[in-house]
Amino acid sequence: MGRGFRWGASSSCCLSLHGLCGRSPVQSADRVSGLLPVGTPGGINSGFDGIPAGSGTVRLGSYIVHLDAGTYRLWRMAFAVPERDRLVAWAHSAGLADAEQQIAELESEGLLFEEGPAMPQRMHTMAVRLIGECLGNGTAATPSFHVVGRNGTSLVVNPYLYEILLRSDGATSLALTCQALESAWPPSSAGPSCLEAFCRALPELVRNEVVILDAV
């Protein structure tokens, strides 16, 4: 187990699936892929039952993970500063040593992973938990549904993505959720699968505190 790890049992934008909102959730070419945090933050704690004072706690699936304070701060900052270079620069400015090594250890322990083509495959062992608020589409018949993240950002999504969000319980793998929903949806034109399309929207949903990722 890497340094700092201790385990115990335990502004409006439009995102779409299959193009319904008129704008694809695919990242723009100039957007640098970043790191996505995995797990539920548990904060810095005073120490109890053998847990070091001042350690940071993360729930990762059925485990409780305890990180040293510096590593926990770095992990939490990845929610707001996902680009690896910027995250390292922030760590250095905050006086955190060996940021590159700590990021590598967080990746090794499954608490961070890099955005990219492999994301859909990883979603077989990851779940999504809704932490924002689903506001519906109002009283008029429209395919535009509204979601608000904890940071106050308003997002507009289509009915398919909205249903995935409503069913994001944090316990069922995203792959299984998409498989079940896709089998019940009407056939669509050729394009990315439900899982692939949702993964393209996932970074923005995480950044705006609409969802968090967890292990299953």
Pair 74, 140 in one domain: no
Model confidence over 66-120: pLDDT tens digits? 999 999 999 999 998 999 999 999 999 999 989 999 999 999 999 999 999 999 9
Is residue 64 a part of any domain in this protein?
yes
Question: How high does pLDDT run on average in the chain?
Answer: 85
What's phi and psi for 125, nearest 5 deg? -120, 20
Is residue 18 a part of any domain in this protein?
no
Pair 162, 198 in one domain: yes
pLDDT at 9 over 60: no
Pair 127, 94 in one domain: no
Q: In this structure, what CATH number is given to the domain that contains residue 203?
A: 3.90.930
Give the whole-angstrom CA distance, residue 34 versus residue 85: 9
Q: How many CB atoms lie within 10 A of CB 142?
A: 10
Q: Name residue, tokens 């394009």.
A: 191
Half-sphere CA count of 105, side-chain side, radius 13 A: 18
Q: Please report, to the nearest 10 degrees, the dihedral formed by the alpha carbons of residues 125, 45, 207, 128 taken in order.
A: 30
Pair 102, 176 in one domain: no
Is residue 19 a part of any domain in this protein?
no
Is residue 24 a part of any domain in this protein?
no
Is residue 17 a part of any domain in this protein?
no
Is residue 66 a part of any domain in this protein?
yes
Is residue 16 a part of any domain in this protein?
no
What is the average pLDDT across 164-190? 86
Give the whole-angstrom CA distance, residue 191 versus residue 211: 24
Pair 207, 159 in one domain: yes
pLDDT band at 186 (very low <50, low <70, confident <90, very high): confident
Domain count of the fold of the chain = 2
Q: Please report, to the nearest 10 degrees, the dihedral formed by the alpha carbons of residues 104, 108, 111, 116 taken in order.
A: 80
DSSP class per residue in the chain: --TTEEEE---EEEE-STTTTSS--SPPTTPPP-EEEBSEEEEE----TTPPTT-EEEEETTEEEEE-HHHHHHHHHTTT--SHHHHHHHHHHTT-S-HHHHHHHHHHTTSEEE-STTHHHHTTSEEEEE-SEEEE--SS--S-EEEE-TTS-EEEE-HHHHHHHHT-EEEEEHHHHHHHHHHHSPP--SS--HHHHHHHHHHHHHHTTSEEEEE-
Residue where a domain terminates, one of 97, 114, 131: 114
Residue where a domain terminates, one of 114, 129, 145: 114
Pair 108, 187 in one domain: no
Residue where a domain terminates, one of 68, 87, 114: 114
Range of the domain at 206: 119-215
Pair 153, 204 in one domain: yes
Model confidence over 116-146: pLDDT tens digits? 999 999 999 999 999 999 999 999 889 999 9
Pair 123, 211 in one domain: yes
Is residue 186 a part of any domain in this protein?
yes
Cβ–Cβ < 8 Å for 193, 181: no
Pair 106, 38 in one domain: yes
Pair 190, 102 in one domain: no
The answer to pTM > 0.75 is yes
Pair 144, 74 in one domain: no
Pair 172, 203 in one domain: yes
